Amino acid sequence: MSKKNDAAGVTKKRVRRDRKEDILREAIKLFGEHGSQGATLAMIAEAVDLTEPGVLHYFPRKVHLLQGVLEYRDQKDVEKYALLMASEKKDVAEFFEILTGVYAEDEKSPELIQLFIVLVGESIHSEHPSHDFFVERYRRVREVYVQQLSALSEAKIRPDVDLNELATLIMAVIDGLQIQWLLDPEKVNLSATFNLFSKIIVGYLQ
């Protein structure tokens, strides 16, 4: 009896996970087509054959859905990045080349970048529902970068460089570039400018 209950529990969790992923994928499509304000819960619910209360069962408020979309995108970026980093032994220049490629892919989804920047700005206030999410998000991404940089550090990165500070600098540069690119895409080339930064920083690090 307990084995049946365990199996049923596993199946239920898998269905819930798959349903959440379906909602996130459709939300990404609709945010891309209509923006985060234009894409309503009703539209997302219809796309996944649920009612609005059905969507709210998985994401209690729209802000939680927006966070979920960003987390889903981050997860895919990290998976892609980790796969590229693990494919063979990398040096510092290749580390930055891979980052440039990942950010160039993100450039194809300006609506998601805008969603990210807007939510980050709003979440500066500690009372905002997304505040803790973004604090944890930045810590998590920083840790990923530090881990990868640590693997490269032996005889490849000058020993006086603090890797946590370097990871923070990388994130600060890309966030600032994304803001300028969203404001003035005709004058700001996001991936080319990040590539220039990468070449400058690689020269300093070695």
Task: Say which DSSP state 130 is in.
Answer: T
**Tens of pLDDT, residues 133-185:** 999 999 999 998 898 888 876 657 888 999 999 999 999 999 999 999 999 99
**Tens of pLDDT, residues 11-40:** 555 566 788 999 998 998 888 788 777 889
Q: Domains in the chain and their CATH numbers?
A: 1-60 (1.10.10.60), 62-205 (1.10.357.10)
1 has pLDDT over 60 = no
DSSP string, 43-87: HHHHHTT--HHHHHHHSSSHHHHHHHHHHHHHHHHHHHHHHHHHS
